């Protein structure tokens, strides 16, 4: 009962299956997972038309809406709110700005400009990926 009361206090929709079992609806799980995405733990961001996903230590891949690989990037750094990426083959630099909710694009080391608004972001927690729905800019 304590677990059920805590879930309800968090605003989650649950179904009680007995004194110690609960089933959280998909919406409830997504709602709870909206917390805590930042530049240090983000592993995936989605925008209208595709997504960027961390595909290995220091490596990111951009996928189109069809799920096909478009480009690959090397991670060059992170801070509280952003991940910085570089594609040396095209001399393109990206900033995944979680705080402002934008993918920012620059080329040849020049200034970056807002390119894709981020619609959702995910974080890695061990083997579990957490999702955060971002509000439209």
pLDDT in the model for residue 124: 80
Stated length of the chain: 137
pTM of the predicted model as reported, rounded to 2 decimal places? 0.69
Residue position matching structure tokens 């083997």? 127
For every one of its 137 residues, what pLDDT tens digit does the chain have, with 9 covering 90 and above? Answer: 554 445 444 444 545 555 555 565 555 544 444 469 999 999 999 999 999 999 999 999 999 999 999 999 999 999 999 999 999 999 999 999 999 999 999 999 999 999 999 999 999 865 444 555 554 44
For residue 90, what is the DSSP state? T
* pLDDT for position 9: 47
Separation of alpha carbons 59 and 71, rounded Å: 11
Q: Is 87 exposed, middle or buried (0-12, 13-18, 19+ CB in 10 A)?
A: middle
Q: How many CA atoms are closer than 13 Å to the CA of 57, on its beta-carbon side?
A: 0
């Amino acid at each position: 009962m304590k677990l059920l009361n805590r879930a309800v206090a968090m605003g989650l929709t649950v179904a009680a299956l007995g004194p110690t079992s609960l089933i959280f609806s998909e919406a409830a799980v997504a709602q709870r997972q909206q917390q805590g995405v930042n530049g240090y733990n983000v592993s995936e961001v989605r925008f209208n038309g595709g997504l960027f996903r961390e595909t290995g230590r220091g490596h990111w891949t951009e996928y189109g809406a069809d799920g096909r690989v478009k480009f690959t990037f090397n991670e060059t750094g992170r801070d509280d709110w952003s991940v910085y990426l570089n594609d040396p083959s095209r001399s393109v630099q990206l900033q995944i700005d979680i705080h402002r909710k934008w993918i920012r694009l620059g080329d040849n080391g020049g200034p970056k400009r807002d390119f894709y608004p981020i619609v959702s972001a995910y974080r890695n927690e061990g083997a579990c990926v957490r999702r955060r729905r971002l509000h439209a800019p």
